């Protein structure tokens, strides 16, 4: 006998994983995490006995519920399931998986369709971040087909427009958690910044790299990864994150001048493997660093004029454009960050886990 748990398997942006109604999982966080590890097949490098895809981008989970907060439609808890460890990290946000939360809410009847377009306000419980997500909902249901294209995903889909509200310091408590625009760790200048995702930004040249290396080349570069991790372990406490040895934040991003018409080129470690693209909130934070006077991105980034800037962050498989609206009175203050994502429902059904992990009892009372 196994325990069956309903879920929808969805792609959100350039990530994917199962989405659950929170009411279908155990109330106890420790037991819930054991259930998620079993569902994803961790710890195992191939995740052969679960739904995980043996990559940090495909070992993610979304937990969703109808929000009880006035003016908020859905609550979302993101879970990064470690692949080779028996650990689930709910510290960071994930803007890619966020893109699938609204569609999941409509599929599950948690959100009422408003017309041809439906705006859903979502609270990401990991950090208390609010976002407004605009979905295409013709004919009374969520649309997945469309002409929107994002790098890192083949084909086209319906556009999902996300506007982030008050993301500065969402994890670390302030945009510049160390109190400095530039810090030095192991002799390397770095900008520690959090505009939705804690990121340590480093010029690739300061580590003896071009910043244009392939993902595989960087993942095979043991000396570089050891230097990056040493810096990360020192930067974490300075960013109010405490001991980050067993956390997936801060992310580490190497930057270089753009070479394909963007604002800057990036190679981001999440935190130990190089990202095939760049995370949504990581891109927002990198774009913010690019417009920040005195940051390590100054002299590297090439920016368009004006208080509303489309900042294109180049990455190993394309680019990611973030629209930033700056305060005319204080141009270094970002008033709004918006971007385009897509999502798709891949499969609906039940994931089965051993009853020895959980017998299916003690779940939250199913939402009405």
- Give the domain ranges of the chain: 2-159+343-354, 183-339
Same fold yes or no, 2-159+343-354 and 183-339: yes
Look at residue 88 and tell me whether its pLDDT is greater than 70.
yes
Give pLDDT, residue 95: 95
Half-sphere exposure of 361 (CA within 13 A, CB side): 3
- Where do we find the tokens 């569609």? 103
Q: How many Cβ atoms from other residues are within 10 Å of residue 344's Cβ?
A: 18
The fold adopted by the segment(s) 2-159+343-354 is Diaminopimelate Epimerase; Chain A, domain 1 (3.10.310)
Question: Is the previous residue joined to 91 through a cis bond, with omega within 30 degrees of 0?
Answer: no
pLDDT band at 276 (very low <50, low <70, confident <90, very high): very high
- pLDDT above 70 covers what percent of the chain? 99
Averaged pLDDT score across all residues of the chain: 95
Q: Say if residue 250's pLDDT is above 90.
A: yes
7 vs 20: CA distance, rounded Å: 5
CA-CA distance, 273 to 55, in Å (whole number)?
Answer: 9
Q: What distance in Å separates the CA atoms of residue 150 and residue 158, rounded to the nearest whole number?
A: 11
The single residue listed with the structure tokens 């709910």 is: 90
What confidence score (pLDDT) does residue 293 get?
93
Tokens standing for residue 260: 């394909």
Question: Among 193, 329, 215, 317, which Cα is nearest to 274's?
Answer: 215
| Chain-centroid distance, C-alpha 214 | 21
CA 34 – CA 31 distance, rounded (Å): 5
**Domain 183-339 fold:** Diaminopimelate Epimerase; Chain A, domain 1 (3.10.310)
Can you give the pTM of this predicted structure? Answer: 0.82
Cβ atoms 62, 40 nearer than 8 A: no
Stretch 99-125: mean pLDDT, rounded? 98
Instruction: Tell me what pLDDT residue 364 has.
Output: 62
- What secondary structure, in 3-state letters, does the chain show? CEEEEEEEEEEECCEEEEEEEHHHCECCHHHHHHHHHHHHCCCCCCCCCCCCCCCHHHCEEEEEEECCCCCCCEEEEEEEECCCCCCEECCCCCHHHHCCHHHHHHHCCCCCCCCCEEEEEEEECCCCEEEEEEEECHHHCCCCCCCECCCCCCCCECCEEEEEECCECCCCCCCCCCCCCCEEECCEEEEEEEECCEEEEEEHHHHCCCCCCCHHHHHCCHHHHHHHHHHHHHHHHHCCCCCCCCCCCCEEEEEECCCCCCCEEEEEECCCCECCCCCHHHHHHHHHHHHCCCCCCCCCCCCCCCCEEEEEEEECCEEEEEEEEECCCCCCCEEEEEEEECEEEEEEEEEEEECCCCCCCCECCCCC
Q: Rounded CA gap, 320 and 260, in Å?
A: 12
Backbone φ and ψ of 322, nearest 5°? -115, 130
Contact 50, 39 (CB under 8 A): yes
Averaged pLDDT for residues 204-217: 98
Average pLDDT over residues 31-42: 98
Mean pLDDT of 292-321: 95
Side-chain half-sphere of 215: how many Cα atoms within 13 Å?
Answer: 15
Residue 104 pLDDT > 80, yes or no? yes
pLDDT the model gives residue 333: 83
- Can you give the C-alpha Rg of the chain in angstroms? 20
């Amino acid at each position: 006998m196994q325990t069956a748990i309903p879920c929808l398997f969805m792609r959100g942006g350039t990530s994917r994983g199962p989405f659950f109604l929170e009411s279908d999982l155990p109330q106890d966080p420790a037991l819930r995490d054991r259930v998620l590890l079993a569902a994803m097949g961790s710890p195992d490098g191939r995740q052969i006995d679960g739904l995980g895809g043996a990559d940090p981008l495909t070992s993610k989970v979304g937990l969703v519920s109808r929000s009880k907060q006035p003016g908020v439609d859905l609550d979302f808890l993101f879970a990064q399931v470690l692949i080779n460890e028996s650990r689930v990290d709910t510290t960071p946000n994930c803007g890619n998986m966020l893109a699938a939360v609204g569609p999941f809410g409509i599929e599950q009847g948690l959100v009422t369709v408003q017309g041809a377009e439906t705006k859903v306000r979502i609270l990401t419980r990991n950090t208390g971040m609010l976002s407004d997500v605009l979905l295409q909902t013709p004919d009374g249901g969520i649309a997945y087909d469309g002409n929107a294209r994002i790098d890192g995903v083949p084909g086209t889909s319906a556009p999902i427009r996300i506007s982030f509200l008050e993301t500065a310091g969402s994890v670390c408590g302030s945009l510049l958690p160390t109190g400095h625009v530039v810090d030095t760790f192991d002799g390397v200048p770095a900008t520690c910044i959090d505009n939705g995702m804690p990121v340590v930004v480093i010029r690739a040249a300061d580590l003896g790299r071009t910043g244009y290396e392939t993902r595989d080349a960087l993942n095979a570069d043991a000396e570089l990864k050891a230097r990056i991790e040493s810096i990360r372990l020192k930067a974490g406490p300075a960013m109010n994150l405490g001991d980050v040895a067993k956390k997936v934040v801060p992310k580490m991003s190497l930057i270089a001048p753009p070479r394909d018409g963007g604002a800057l080129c990036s190679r981001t470690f999440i935190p130990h493997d190089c990202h095939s693209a760049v995370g949504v909130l990581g891109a927002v934070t990198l774009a913010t660093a690019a417009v920040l006077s005195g940051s390590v991105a100054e002299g590297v980034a090439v920016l368009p004029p004006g208080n509303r800037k489309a900042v294109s962050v180049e990455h190993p498989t394309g680019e990611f454009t973030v629209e930033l609206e700056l305060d005319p009175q204080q141009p270094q203050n970002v008033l709004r960050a918006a971007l385009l994502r897509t999502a798709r429902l891949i499969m609906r059904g039940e994931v089965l886990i051993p009853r020895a992990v959980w017998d299916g009892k003690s779940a939250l009372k199913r939402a009405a």
